[in-house]
Amino acid sequence: MTEVITERKAADKKLVYTVTIPIRWGDMDALGHVNNTVYFRFMEQARIEWLAMMGCLPDENGNGAVIVNAHCTFKKPLKYPDQVEVCTYIAALGRTSFETIQEMRSVNGGYTLYAEGGAKVVWVDRQTEKATAVPEAIRQKFNELKQAGRRRRT
């Protein structure tokens, strides 16, 4: 059974990374807008860039991120030529998993929200194929952002 991100989890989301990705001519489908599969590629690219920036790509033991659920809600069709800004948030940090929430906005469209989605990420020991602890770098970043959010409200 898949878990839907609740409003409470979404309220706890913390912005961790933003990237602008060019839309290529080949990203479009026969209807002249970006194919739905490409939105998942945009989210993947942003997620991988963020994990690399955090130093959390698979380690020497092969431990790394595995996506167990991914989703996307398409609000407006992206079209070429344009760029898409992908904002990546993390939420619902657990011992072995966390949620990513991603917003995709058209740069030419005035940064209007065109799609939103995300994925549940589980950290896995590739040798045992079992969940293992989320890297400390991710946990620390999430907690720093959480503390910063609390300080701003006071």
The predicted structure's pLDDT at residue 7 = 52
CATH of 7-153, one of 3.40.50.2300, 3.30.230.30, 3.30.930.10, 3.10.129.10: 3.10.129.10
Segment-wise mean pLDDT, segments of 10 residues, the chain, 154 residues:
49 89 97 97 96 86 91 98 97 93 98 98 93 91 78 48
Tell me the whole-structure pTM to 2 decimals. 0.87
Contacts of 126 (CB under 8 A, 6+ apart): 58, 61, 62, 63, 64
3-state SS track over the chain: CCCCCCHHHHHCCEEEEEEEEECCHHHECCCCCECHHHHHHHHHHHHHHHHHHCCCCCCCCCCEEEEEEEEEEECCCCCCCCEEEEEEEEECCCCCEEEEEEEEEECCCCCEEEEEEEEEEEEEECCCCEECCCCHHHHHHHHHHHHHHHHHHC
Indicate the domain borders of the chain. Answer: 7-153
